[in-house]
């Protein structure tokens, strides 16, 4: 019996010998997991840092582009659009160099363009707030928004607390209606946007006013890209065309910008892109003179070989053949 089975004393000795080895292996595994976990976390943190750096670099380029476009808008007299660009920059980076100064310059220039016209009702010489308010109500009834705004400004200078709620209501409607009218006229879109922004300080704008302001902003944005980036011009006008195809000359501008973008793509050798833009232009307006450059771009596009993907045989590992089974000897 003693030859076939280990004695209890021998088994206990073997267990005592193997227990430290097991604990050592477990400790080593824990240390290894901790090291691997730390390395993984460090790699994760490094990846986040790299992504943040890339985002900051991309934002810096975008802000620089908006700043340069804003300076160009100021020089061209597009004060409303310039103010929006500089405000956008400051929202993302309050310390962006020169943005605050340019925003103040744009707002001052825009304010000077919104002064009452000489045809507005002359301001009363009276300093009686009741008389001034009554004149403002009369102008409101007749739709003379310029006079309403000027009279309420005079009332605030004389007595800012006189029927303040009613006065704010009058100037809100006057700014709203004058802003929409300026946008509809087309030659004062920046001033119209400014009016609506001022009206919004008194209360929420209605849907029509919000739409007109949004359309005007897109129209002016496309105008700022005109001749600078045909791709950006087309993209902006396409969005405006979807929202309001009859807003001023949106469809005509989109047509011309699309043709210019197509010619630019063809000159750069992108005939497939040019063919697509020519086709898009003809969906807006049919022009027989476009048929020839469109056909040329389409023909060259069809002749341009499409790169064929190649199979990298070195990346494919061979599957080993199964080993031949060893026959079992017969009993």
Asked whether the beta carbons of 278 and 294 are under 8 A apart, the reply is yes
More confident residue, 237 or 27: 237
Whether 11 shows a pLDDT value over 70: the answer reads no
d(CA 183, CA 215): 9
Asked whether the beta carbons of 115 and 148 are under 8 A apart, the reply is no
Q: Where are the domains of the chain?
A: 33-113, 118-216, 226-303
CA-to-CA dists, residue 209 to 81, 82, 257, 320, angstroms: 17, 21, 27, 73
d(CA 188, CA 113): 9
Q: Report CA Rg, the chain.
A: 37
Whether 6 shows a pLDDT value over 80: the answer reads no
d(CA 41, CA 72): 47
**Within 226-290, where are the H helices?**
230-243, 250-267, 271-284
Asked whether the beta carbons of 150 and 172 are under 8 A apart, the reply is no
The predicted pLDDT at position 76 comes to 75
Confidence of residue 179 (pLDDT cuts 50, 70, 90): very high
Please spell the DSSP secondary structure of 197-240, one letter per residue: HHHHTTSPPPHHHHHHHHHHHHHHHHHHHTTT-HHHHHHHHHHH
d(CA 282, CA 114): 40
pLDDT tens figures, 284-302: 998 899 999 999 999 999 9
Spelled out in words, what is the top-level CATH class assigned to the domain 33-113?
A: mainly alpha
Whether 3 shows a pLDDT value over 90: the answer reads no
Token code pair at residue 77:
């007299």
d(CA 225, CA 228): 5
CA-to-CA dists, residue 22 to 13, 17, 19, 296, angstroms: 15, 9, 5, 78
Mean pLDDT value across residues 100-125 = 67
Among candidate residues 164, 195, 163, 165, the one with its CA nearest the CA of residue 177: 195
For residue 275, give every residue at least 6 positions away whose Cβ sits within 8 Å of its Cβ, in sequence order, or none.
262, 294, 297, 298, 301
Please identify which residue in the block is written with the tokens 């582009």: 65
Least confident piece of the model among 161-175, 215-229, 311-325: 311-325
d(CA 94, CA 304): 49
Whether 64 shows a pLDDT value over 50: the answer reads yes
Whether 51 shows a pLDDT value over 70: the answer reads no
d(CA 157, CA 122): 16
d(CA 43, CA 51): 12
More confident residue, 225 or 186: 225
For residue 85, give every residue at least 6 positions away whose Cβ sits within 8 Å of its Cβ, in sequence order, or none.
66, 67, 69, 70, 73
Asked whether the beta carbons of 57 and 63 are under 8 A apart, the reply is no
* Domain 226-303, architecture per CATH: Alpha Horseshoe (1.25)
Interior angle at CA 122, CA 116 and CA 126, nearest 5: 125
Confidence of residue 28 (pLDDT cuts 50, 70, 90): low
Same CATH fold, 226-303 and 33-113? yes
Whether 315 shows a pLDDT value over 50: the answer reads no
Q: What is the pTM of this model?
A: 0.61
The predicted pLDDT at position 318 comes to 43
* Burial (CB count <10 Å: 0-12, 13-18, 19+), residue 208: exposed
Token code pair at residue 85:
């660009």
Q: Could you give phi then psi for residue 120, rounded to 5 degrees?
A: -70, 160
């Amino acid at each position: 019996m003693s030859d076939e089975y280990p004695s209890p004393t021998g088994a206990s000795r073997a267990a005592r010998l193997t227990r430290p080895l097991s604990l050592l292996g477990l400790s080593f595994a824990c240390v290894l997991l901790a090291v691997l976990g730390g390395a993984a976390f460090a790699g994760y943190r490094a990846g986040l840092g790299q992504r943040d750096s890339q985002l900051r670099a991309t934002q810096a380029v975008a802000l620089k582009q908006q700043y340069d476009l804003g300076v160009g808008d100021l020089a061209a007299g597009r004060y409303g659009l310039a103010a929006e660009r500089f405000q956008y920059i400051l929202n993302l980076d309050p310390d962006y160099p020169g943005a605050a100064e340019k925003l103040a310059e744009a707002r001052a220039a825009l304010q000077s363009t919104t002064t009452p016209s000489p045809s507005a009702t002359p301001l009363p010489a009276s300093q009686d707030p009741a008389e001034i308010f009554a004149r403002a109500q009369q102008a409101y009834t007749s739709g003379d928004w310029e006079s309403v705004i000027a009279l309420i400004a005079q009332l605030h200078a004389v007595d800012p607390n006189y029927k303040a709620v009613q006065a704010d209501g009058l100037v809100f409607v006057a700014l709203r209606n004058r802003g929409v009218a300026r946008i509809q006229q087309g030659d004062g879109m920046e001033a119209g946007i400014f009016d609506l922004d001022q009206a919004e300080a008194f209360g929420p704008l209605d849907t029509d006013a919000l739409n007109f302001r949004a359309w005007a902003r897109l129209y002016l944005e496309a105008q700022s890209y005109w001749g600078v980036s045909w791709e950006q011009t087309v993209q902006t006008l396409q969005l405006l065309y979807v929202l309001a195809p009859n807003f001023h000359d949106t469809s005509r501008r989109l047509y011309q910008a699309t043709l210019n973008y197509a010619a630019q793509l063809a000159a750069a050798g992108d005939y497939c892109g040019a063919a697509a833009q020519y086709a898009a232009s003809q969906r807006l307006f049919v022009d027989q003179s476009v048929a020839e450059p469109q056909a040329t771009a389409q023909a060259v596009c069809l002749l341009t070989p499409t790169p064929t993907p190649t199979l990298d045989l070195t990346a494919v590992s061979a599957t080993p053949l199964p080993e031949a089974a060893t026959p079992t000897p017969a009993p």
